Structure 1
């Protein structure tokens, strides 16, 4: 009896001891690996150019701690006036956000359409609104219609279109095409496909973006207050001008309270709408009615409540149809003051100023992403190891995000000194970027699909492999978009830095705004607009590859 010899499996095969077969290097895989490597290299190079080192960070941390000690305990010399100004600012933020939501909804749908010309035109408007700082919009509308709350509302509204339009369009692009096809299969037209097949899916993301923009616009009042728009921002600027740090801390805590309230509403609505979106993801059979569940009732109450709140806000700020018509006609007249741009007074500083602006933006975004991504994952219910970690991370995220941008810059400049202005500006924007990235990452992680994670775990993967393969694998397109969005936000923050001398280009812009040199203002803003446009083009290309 002969023994049949069994052929040994080849080395390197599934049962061999060699290397496992490698996944092919597709364009998506190359982009997923290449982007973080390139971005990290640019961020490190930017920090080196700015002189941001470990030793300086340690010394600066001590100075920041000493400054914060002098600002405690907080005080409010006139609480009633501060609260009244906070309420005025809140109505201005609500009106601006409502105006932006209406415009961004239309532009977001057009930007996600299949028509190349329509999509390009909509994206161009969105990028233009995002690239122009809100304070430049405010200066433009003051020149068009005079001083008052309406220029601030229009400035916040148009600038917010840049963020909301981008996020709205990306939410539509990431929506499940199968649901749309199912709705189309019932004989629905384009409008019905949009209303029944797309909007229920994107509603949670849209609501989260709107509420997030609302607290950004509330904090943005600090910047508008720095150029005389009034409200609680003017109170904060006055307190810092007199180096009354305890008073400034008290005013800042009022803004924190408002942001916390908005965050609480956002978390509640988001939880309800996620349930409504899942319940409404499959279209009902023709002839049947969708039941009035608690989630659906919450969605309708939130929608109608938002309409009432917006109507009250428009009334409080005087944004009547007649006033908006006057603003439109005045804007046409004001264009002559801003165009053509006058490059002569700033020709010598544009090149170096743009390099400094780009270095600050890259360095701040790199540091912010390093801190913001893990913070956002820890704040997401679907990823956090337990509720204690999630609540602590969420509280830290909200606390960082509630600090006004200008206040961060003032604190770091006071700690590091004007001679280290770019370093102070980079660190201030890094804190802001960490909060921004953490918020968006946490919202995206809440919508992760369970299927890929369960598949990875069933294959014997550990927690680390689940995080890198199933969680970060799903989040990769959104992480790229979020990082690049934080970059273009930081590029546009050059004016905030310039107010306190922390950036050459921003300082020049603030000086020419005060001098009413509107054509020179345009000349400074245009190159930054080109930078933001380039970042948007890279972001769109990467999203297309990674999708």
Structure 2
């Protein structure tokens, strides 16, 4: 429940008051985290053997590989495009499944619409669990439960996406104007009418925009799932690199990147229209439950119904019928016995070293990616970039980096370095992926900076660097801490991607035991990483609380 107050102070969150932690705690978090993060990152890079000379030579090796891979070829263009389309159908069906589940969980998890504390706690727990388990782990489980094919990929993408969409959906419901719900309730409407007439019209644009953003993410993720038995273009990429047919791999990669850019362009355009049109929500009159057909409502309906039609086609293409989903549920229950209890015996000797290497790769990649991503994100932000030309160049580079699936990055770097330097190659590959991720989040945050602090600093005679340090980073610090820890979280989960191509000891062991169908050992490997991820999430929550 939110607490209504008198007019909110400028820059504060209207309608809520939260006690702030002591200034000393905020200062300690603001200074202590960056120092600790940089020190740990440098230690990790030194332990992995990644130095300045290695960075220069490493990217030189990648450039040499790309030169050998040019010009690109496509041995069978029809098959390649068919597999890309399969990957796209898998992403659409998985996103649709996630949106359906997240809509229910979001309403149950929101403090303003949940029927009770117990129900809300259960809904929040499901959302957190889905977010904590990587989609690749879900995919392995469903492949074991129902066999190889696109359906395990759809279920994996759907369940993992619930973690993100459920959280965003619940936040959107809690931020909806309570006055509309009260007006609808005043007519004697029941709970369902209050939900559909008082809440749904307000949150629909944000829900659809979040779903479109998740579709963008899921297409990249479905490329990886193809390499573990879910079908699609991911297996073609892995096979081409495995046979060192680099021109063919380049051709497949270019087609994949082009489709990623197309999906992102459509997603960004639709999200912009929906969120722009949905800023003003018309309030229905007290004596009628009809919601006016505003521009936002029309846009939401067109996107929503069009998306449902597309999702129905996608589900048919991948075989995600109600009967198939019921069979998958039954098979999943039966498969649980193969994964539990975990068997730590075969991996007891490598778990400690493997976890240390996984954490070092994640820390090193996050540090390098953050150092590169923060400047790129600031230059790509309209509110911070020195001029339009610089911003356009930064945006172009950012979009180009984000269009490269993480599996493709790892394959390129491992092919350039060789398996002997697998951890170094994996660290550099993840650092490029992290730079794109951090830059995107920083650019979005920088666009929302308040002008008041910057104007105050400039009026005091400060120069550009002082303005950047005091007014820009002063406002960005809490979000930057969250962004950095989120990137670390993502990189910890990437250990399996590295293991597919032998770039990480723990991930390689996981890959081998999956092939041997030793699923109880798979659980033994995944559980410690899962605990590590939860620890990072707990630290992130504490730091966000200290810096708010």
TM-score, normalized by the shorter chain, greater than 0.5: yes
| Mapped partners of 1:135, 1:218: distance in 2 | 14
SS in 2 for 1:485: helix
Cα drift, residue 154 of structure 1 = 0.6
Q: Which residue of 1 aligns with 2:498?
A: 497
Q: Provide Cα deviations, 1:114-153, integer angstroms capped at 9, x if missing partner.
A: 8775565444433432333323322221222223221111
Cα drift, residue 229 of structure 1 = 2.4
- Which consecutive unaligned segments of at least 5 residues does structure 1 have? 1-23
For the pair 1:66 / 2:64, whether they are aligned, the reply is yes
Q: Which residue of 1 aligns with 2:126?
A: 125
Q: Which residue of 2 aligns with 1:102?
A: 100
Q: Which residue of 1 aligns with 2:340?
A: 339
| Mapped partners of 1:467, 1:277: distance in 2 | 33
Cα drift, residue 192 of structure 1 = 8.2
For the pair 1:324 / 2:325, whether they are aligned, the reply is yes
| Mapped partners of 2:73, 2:64: distance in 1 | 18
1:405-420 equivalences under 5 Å are 405-420=406-421
Q: Which residue of 1 aligns with 2:316?
A: 315
| Mapped partners of 1:361, 1:544: distance in 2 | 24
For the pair 1:393 / 2:394, whether they are aligned, the reply is yes
| Mapped partners of 1:152, 1:62: distance in 2 | 35
Q: Provide Cα deviations, 1:150-183, integer angstroms capped at 9, x if missing partner.
A: 111111111222333455556677x5xxx64554
- Does the CA-based 8 Å contact 1:47-1:359 persist in structure 2? yes
Cα drift, residue 498 of structure 1 = 0.9
- Does the CA-based 8 Å contact 1:252-1:404 persist in structure 2? no
| Mapped partners of 2:208, 2:394: distance in 1 | 21
| Mapped partners of 2:274, 2:353: distance in 1 | 48
Cα drift, residue 347 of structure 1 = 0.6
Q: Greater shift after overlay, 353-362 or 41-50?
A: 41-50
Q: Provide Cα deviations, 1:264-305, integer angstroms capped at 9, x if missing partner.
A: 12322232233224323x856646987655455333322222
Cα drift, residue 449 of structure 1 = 4.9
- Does the CA-based 8 Å contact 2:165-2:211 persist in structure 1? yes
Cα drift, residue 456 of structure 1 = 5.5
Q: Which residue of 1 aligns with 2:268?
A: 267
| Mapped partners of 1:121, 1:44: distance in 2 | 40
- Does the CA-based 8 Å contact 2:209-2:275 persist in structure 1? no
Q: Greater shift after overlay, 118-127 or 210-219?
A: 118-127
- Work out which of the residue numbers 31, 34, 50 in structure 2 matches 1:33: 31
Cα drift, residue 460 of structure 1 = 6.0
Cα drift, residue 429 of structure 1 = 0.7
SS in 2 for 1:278: coil
Question: Structure 1 437/203 Cα, relative in aligned 2: closer, same or farther at 3 Å?
Answer: farther
Q: Which residue of 1 aligns with 2:111?
A: 113
| Mapped partners of 1:543, 1:41: distance in 2 | 21
Q: Greater shift after overlay, 479-488 or 282-291?
A: 282-291
Q: Greater shift after overlay, 270-279 or 397-406?
A: 270-279
Q: Which residue of 2 aligns with 1:348?
A: 349
| Mapped partners of 1:293, 1:450: distance in 2 | 31
Cα drift, residue 482 of structure 1 = 2.1
| Mapped partners of 1:172, 1:54: distance in 2 | 48
| Mapped partners of 1:480, 1:93: distance in 2 | 30
Question: Structure 1 201/385 Cα, relative in aligned 2: closer, same or farther at 3 Å?
Answer: farther
For the pair 1:243 / 2:235, whether they are aligned, the reply is no
- Does the CA-based 8 Å contact 1:377-1:441 persist in structure 2? yes
Q: Provide Cα deviations, 1:216-241, integer angstroms capped at 9, x if missing partner.
A: 32222332222232211121122112
Cα drift, residue 243 of structure 1 = 1.0
| Mapped partners of 2:443, 2:485: distance in 1 | 17
| Mapped partners of 1:172, 1:479: distance in 2 | 25
Q: Please report the TM-score for the alignment, with normalisation by the length of structure 2.
A: 0.85
| Mapped partners of 1:477, 1:266: distance in 2 | 28
Question: Structure 1 247/378 Cα, relative in aligned 2: closer, same or farther at 3 Å?
Answer: same
| Mapped partners of 1:284, 1:375: distance in 2 | 44
Cα drift, residue 409 of structure 1 = 1.2
| Mapped partners of 2:124, 2:46: distance in 1 | 34
Q: Provide Cα deviations, 1:35-91, integer angstroms capped at 9, x if missing partner.
A: 222222221221122111001111112211110101111111221221111111100
Q: Which residue of 1 aligns with 2:163?
A: 162
Q: Please report the TM-score for the alignment, with normalisation by the length of structure 1.
A: 0.86
SS in 1 for 2:279: helix
